[in-house]
Amino acid sequence: MASKEIFIAVIGAGGVGKAFLSQLEGLSKRLSANASSPKLSLILVSRSTKTLYSPQYKALPFLNLATSLADSTNKPLSLTEIIDFLAAAPAKVVLVDNTSSQDVADSYPQVLSRGISIVTPNKKAFSGSYKLWQDIFSSAASSGAKVYHESSVGAGLPVISTLKDLVETGDEVTRIEGVFSGTMSFLFNSFAPTEGSGGKWSAEVKKAKELGYTEPDPRDDLNGLDVARKLTILARLAGLQVESPTSFPVQSLIPKALESVGSGEEFMQRLPEFDSEMEETKAAAEKEGKVVRFVGSIDVAKKEVKVGLEKFDRSHPIAALKGSDNIISFYTKRYGANALIIQGAGAGGDVTAMGVTADLIKVLGQL
């Protein structure tokens, strides 16, 4: 008997997209060795200005895919054209959104309502308006299409699947707390290490930028919004109706006077003027024998979500984090005082793509 064919479409071929395509090639090869497994056919790959697709729904070859996409002379398809093309496919389709595009995220309800499943590391859909969140899951429920987004929090770390398992098996999640940004992790682990004194704040930001740990304009990390988006997703999964990532307190580490400076370069030049503020915060924590860290927390019973600086004993797992790792602690009724802790790399193409590929495997098992 011929294997069931499942079509895969990939939007976004950057750091995560390229790593995902390589993992997809491996998965597809492994599945083809087993006649009872589905046959995966990649039918579309797109970037912001390029689309490579097979109008006859024939599988695109993986060999030299990035070059074929870059060299493609196809007229790029609009999002609407992509959705129409996928909805007309003669078999089930999984759309993999490896962009950070709000437009693509906004289209999920439409995609799902047309029976196309989605897997994605893109946070935008799940941390946008609560209405978009509801529309996504109601569209999926009525069409039967699946939607998975493990890598939208903590990259490939099993954060979302663990929280879902806790909730769905009837545990009571009381509190979630952690370091959700690799950039913030790196900055504070070197600015306020558990041993030694650490560097000046502006020097640590400069070092992180040079090592490629920050966005091109570090204000996009320091404003706390990325962490707020992740907290929004987890709070909603824990049952809180969080309206948006700006509907709870989020501490920005951008000095007021530098919020409106024109460029990232100017921001970096002027940041040393404000080192004393961060020095005071560090010294205040040290006086109590603690270190300062940038954390997000959700108190489920009090329905409180917040993001910002907090002090931790040097022996606390959050204080002892290394490099740019993430740590997420789930406090629940079953686990009692000793939290269930997930820790490890929370960024990087390969680990993020691993979460996306693992989601795809879950979807394949249900189609």
Ligand X SMILES: NC(=O)c1ccc[n+]([C@@H]2O[C@H](COP(=O)([O-])OP(=O)(O)OC[C@H]3O[C@@H](n4cnc5c(N)ncnc54)[C@H](OP(=O)(O)O)[C@@H]3O)[C@@H](O)[C@H]2O)c1
| Catalytic (active-site) positions | 230
CB of 44 to ligand X, least distance (A): 11
100 binds ligand X (CB under 6 A): yes
What 3-state class would DSSP assign to 6?
strand
- Closer residue to ligand X (CB): 166 or 347: 347
The annotation status of 15 as a binding-site residue, yes or no, is: yes
16 binds ligand X (CB under 6 A): yes
CA distances from 97 to 15, 94, 176, 233 (A): 13, 10, 27, 17
CA 29/CA 31 separation, integer angstroms? 6
Binding to ligand X (CB under 6 A) within 229-248 occurs at: none
The annotation status of 93 as a binding-site residue, yes or no, is: no
- Please check whether residue 9 is in contact with residue 94, taking contact to mean a CB–CB distance below 8 angstroms: yes
Residues that bind ligand X (rule: CB under 6 A) add up to a total of 26
147 binds ligand X (CB under 6 A): no
The annotation status of 14 as a binding-site residue, yes or no, is: yes
121 binds ligand X (CB under 6 A): yes
263 binds ligand X (CB under 6 A): no
CA distances from 88 to 92, 120, 231 (A): 10, 22, 36
- The closest of 272, 254, 179, 190 to 217, measured between CA atoms, is 254
CA angle 352, 224, 288 (to 5 degrees): 110
323 binds ligand X (CB under 6 A): no
Q: Give every strand in the sheet of 93-97, ordered side by side.
A: 51-53, 39-46, 5-11, 93-97, 117-119, 147-148
- Please check whether residue 5 is in contact with residue 38, taking contact to mean a CB–CB distance below 8 angstroms: yes
CB of 98 to ligand X, least distance (A): 5
CA 136/CA 131 separation, integer angstroms? 9
Binder of ligand X out of 6, 7, 9, 12 (CB under 6 A): 12
47 binds ligand X (CB under 6 A): yes
Binder of ligand X out of 8, 9, 10, 17 (CB under 6 A): 17
CB of 346 to ligand X, least distance (A): 7
- Please check whether residue 127 is in contact with residue 232, taking contact to mean a CB–CB distance below 8 angstroms: yes
Binder of ligand X out of 41, 46, 185, 202 (CB under 6 A): 46
- Closer residue to ligand X (CB): 48 or 247: 48
99 binds ligand X (CB under 6 A): yes
Closest-by-Cβ residue to ligand X is 14
Pick the stretch among 14-22, 198-206, 290-298, 334-342 that binds ligand X (CB under 6 A): 14-22
Pick the stretch among 92-100, 269-277, 288-296, 359-367 that binds ligand X (CB under 6 A): 92-100
CA 47/CA 94 separation, integer angstroms? 17
101 binds ligand X (CB under 6 A): yes
CB of 333 to ligand X, least distance (A): 30
Q: Which residues pair with 40 in a beta bridge?
A: 6
Pick the stretch among 126-134, 139-147, 293-301, 341-349 that binds ligand X (CB under 6 A): 341-349
CA 243/CA 133 separation, integer angstroms? 10
Structure tokens at 348: 């990087």
**What's phi and psi for 55, nearest 5 deg?**
-55, -30
Residues near ligand X (CB under 6 A) are 11-17, 46-49, 98-101, 103-104, 121-123, 151, 155, 347-349, 352
Annotated binding-site positions for L-homoserine? 215
